[in-house]
Amino acid sequence: MAHILIVYGTTDGHTAKVADTIAATLRQVGQNVTLHRGDALPPGLDAAAFDAIIVGASVHYGKYQSYIGKFIAKNLNALKQKPSAFFAVSGASSSGAQGRQEACTFSDPFLDGLGWRPARVEQIAGAFPFTRYGWWKRMMMRYIVRRAGGEAHTRKDYAYTDWERVTRFAHEFSSELARIT
């Protein structure tokens, strides 16, 4: 059993649900998991003390949460030395394989700019909770979704996450850990 650290960034809460699902799946297969939101890390958290690390973030207006970039930069040595993975949650990933490929146009430069190339990068479809957005964000997100050819009724929330894909990612990460540890 490995001790796995999961650190995630979320803006509207959906990435937290994805991180919770990954953590729960890893626990079900016997892994010891510590889960933290990246902007609420406990003082003195030592990423190097864990056997493996998973980092996740969501894309908003083409960028990930800055505190996730800071976490990666601060813990780069541990991330490079330990089994690690990155999961990216975005609306772009909602349109299948083509969307996941498009989502890489955000994650690849982000990770390359930080000098981290994890063995596994998973693109996960996100959500558009239009009813929780303020007016300005609702209009911006509606424009983005419609431009991509999606449905965007602003009085409705949309969730595109393939939860089986999320649990498969967690199972595969756990299996890979078992092979290398």
DSSP assignment of 89-155: EESGGGGHHHHHHHHHHHHHHHHHHHT---SEEEEEE-EEEGGGS-HHHHHHHHHHHHHTT----TT
Per-residue pLDDT of the chain (181 residues; tens, 9 = 90+): 899 999 999 988 899 999 999 999 999 999 999 999 999 999 999 999 999 999 999 988 788 999 999 999 999 999 999 999 999 998 754 555 555 556 556 888 999 999 999 989 999 988 877 777 788 877 777 777 666 666 777 787 777 888 999 999 999 999 998 887 6
Question: Considering Cα of 135, then 70, then 30, then 125, what sign does the dihedral take?
Answer: positive
Q: What is the pLDDT of residue 48?
A: 97
Cα–Cα distance for residue pair 75/52, rounded to 1 Å: 12
Both ends of the chain: CA-CA distance in Å?
9
88: helix, strand or coil: strand
Q: What is the pLDDT of residue 98?
A: 54
- In a 10 Å sphere around its CB, with 0-12 CB exposed, 13-18 middle and 19+ buried, how is residue 102 labelled? middle
161: helix, strand or coil: coil
Q: What order of strands is seen across the sheet that includes strand 84-90?
A: 32-37, 3-8, 52-58, 84-90, 120-125
Residue with tokens 């394989």: 97
Encoded amino acid at 110, one letter? F
Domains and CATH numbers, the chain: 3-126+161-180 (3.40.50.360), 128-160 (no CATH)
